[in-house]
Amino acid sequence: MEFPAIIINFKAYESVLGESALRLARLIEKIVHEKGVSIVPVPSVFDVATLLSNLTLPVMVQHVDPVEPGAQTGSVPPAAAAAIGASGTLLNHAERRLPADILKKTVEMCRQVGLFTLVCAESLDRIQEVSSYAPDAIAYEPPELIGGAVSVSSAQPDIIRAAVALSGKIPLLVGAGVKTGEDVRVARSLGAQGVLLASGVVLSPDPEKVLYNLAEGL
């Protein structure tokens, strides 16, 4: 994973499933090549293989489970994600929180198969905790700002500085309410290595315009 970066979580929005996911990902790829920036799509698990077979971009999966391949119906082993060529995974998102022991084990299993881990944390205490698991990156997302109109960059500059300090050598990204290149620029000025966002892109009536604007912020 190259930093600074913009990570786009597609979640399971209807507007970015199936062929629509591929269209958005191709748009992301175009902007990556034009602007020379790092933007990584994180589609539904059902669309990961399609994106990987049609793009040159790294593609992450939204979640994996701490299980080995085998009799694991409905689970997504880290080895399975790595086997199809996924570059990494998002873990502990606000919509998929994990108990500490499960999260630690998942990070360890991902490391064993070479899967990049971006671990979400909702507070400074949580950042300090997950830093001890040595993930590849941490994303600070205050729950009260997720999906809202106010960006974490403008609402919590002092906390972003503190979060960067706590993460140490682990790259820190920020998310929640991020929508513009200015949000990205401010986050970078505070020490963050990029942003994690979803609705600001995937629910936009003009995602191309939003993506170009975000890329300018890097």
Q: Determine the Cα–Cα distance for residues 175 and 147; give it in Å rounded to an integer.
A: 10
For residue 150, the model assigns a pLDDT of 67
Q: Determine the Cα–Cα distance for residues 99 and 75; give it in Å rounded to an integer.
A: 17
Q: 53 Cβ partners below 8 Å, 6+ apart? A: none
| Inter-CA distances, 25 with 55, 66, 88, 160, 204, Å | 8, 27, 16, 29, 14
pTM of the model as a whole: 0.95
Q: Which of 33, 68, 122, 141 is catalytic?
A: 141
Our answer to whether residue 93 is catalytic in this structure is yes
Count CB neighbours of 112 within 10 A.
11
In the chain, beta strands by DSSP E: 5-9, 38-42, 60-61, 88-91, 116-121, 137-140, 172-175, 194-197
Range of the domain at 79: 5-67+74-217
The enclosing domain of 164 has a CATH number of: 3.20.20.70
| Inter-CA distances, 183 with 34, 79, 139, 218, Å | 21, 35, 15, 10
Q: Which of 14, 93, 95, 182 is catalytic?
A: 93
For the stretch 118-147, pLDDT in tens is: 999 999 999 999 999 999 999 998 877 777
Torsion over CA of 137, 44, 84 and 30, rounded to 10 degrees?
-80
Task: Identify the segments of the chain with pLDDT beneath 50.
Answer: none
What is the number of domains present in the chain?
1
For residue 1, the model assigns a pLDDT of 85
Our answer to whether residue 208 is catalytic in this structure is no
For residue 153, the model assigns a pLDDT of 76
